[in-house]
Amino acid sequence: MTVYEPTFNDAGAPATPILDVAPFARLTIGEASYEIGTVAPGQIEVEDDAREVIAFREDELTPWKALKNNVDEGWRPVAAEVLRNTRDALHDYVGMHMIRRSGSFNPGNMVSLTLFGFDWDLRFSRDGKRAQVRLPETNWSEVDKGLMAEFEDKRELAIAALLRFSPSIHKVFEDDVEAWALRLAAGAQVMPIM
């Protein structure tokens, strides 16, 4: 199972290699659409020289990004990998599956949330300008003002607080997020590019 974690490089992002790609299909997932193409041989190291490498991009201005999966594995794994590379899959998974157990997102209230047995609480000041989060086996922690300003929607703030204050949460749900991406990918449509 691949763990998708953000990486940071203080020296600046490495230059993205420009790939020579021959488009052959348009992959549509929901309202998003991507070009899929075959990467010219010799540009990317692979264990099996006979294995075809494919890449995707959103539009002609976006650089091609190589994929680990290819059509030999089927379109669902390809579409799931594209999903994981183009959106915050963990955030979307939490947003779709978290359940409010009690309380409300209103100022002066506390809300208790659960995600398949992983529980956390969020409470708000009376003016709604401050919040605190409590994860399992922790005390209340102040949610920083930057996060409060970025997520005015309190439901989105609850998701962001969970992800910020539980940096290893991706390890807890990595298999579930992978399975969820594969389920979403089942609705993908593929059209050949002529």
pLDDT digit string, tens, across residues 98-127 = 999 999 999 999 999 999 999 999 999 999
Provide the pLDDT confidence category of residue 88 given band limits of 50, 70 and 90. Answer: confident
Q: Among 9-13, 122-126, 153-157, which stretch is predicted with the lowest mean pLDDT?
A: 9-13
SS3 111: strand
Which residue is it, tokens 């990486």? 7
Q: What is the mean pLDDT of residues 69-96?
A: 91
Q: What are phi and psi of 120, to 5 degrees?
A: -155, 160
The Cα–Cα gap between 147 and 79 comes to 31
Neighbours of 27 (CB within 10 A): 19
SS3 24: strand
Q: Which of 5, 192, 176, 181 has the alpha carbon at shortest distance from 78?
A: 181
Q: Is the pLDDT of residue 15 over 90?
A: no
Distances (CA, A) of 113 to 53, 102, 104, 126, 177: 42, 7, 10, 20, 18
Question: The pTM is what?
Answer: 0.72
Structure confidence by residue, pLDDT tens digits, 38-56: 998 877 776 666 678 999 9
Q: What is the mean pLDDT of residues 56-60?
A: 92
The Cα–Cα gap between 78 and 67 comes to 8
Provide the pLDDT confidence category of residue 20 given band limits of 50, 70 and 90. Answer: confident
**High-pLDDT (> 70) share of the chain, %:** 89
The Cα–Cα gap between 98 and 105 comes to 14
The Cα–Cα gap between 4 and 169 comes to 12
Residue that wins the pLDDT comparison between 77 and 5: 77
Position 38 scores a pLDDT of 92
Q: Which two tokens stand for residue 40?
A: 């010219």
Query: Quick check: 182 and 102 in contact, CB under 8 A?
Result: no
Query: Quick check: 173 and 90 in contact, CB under 8 A?
Result: yes
β-strand pairing of 189-192 with 21-29: antiparallel
Q: Which two tokens stand for residue 156?
A: 């989105």
Position 8 scores a pLDDT of 42
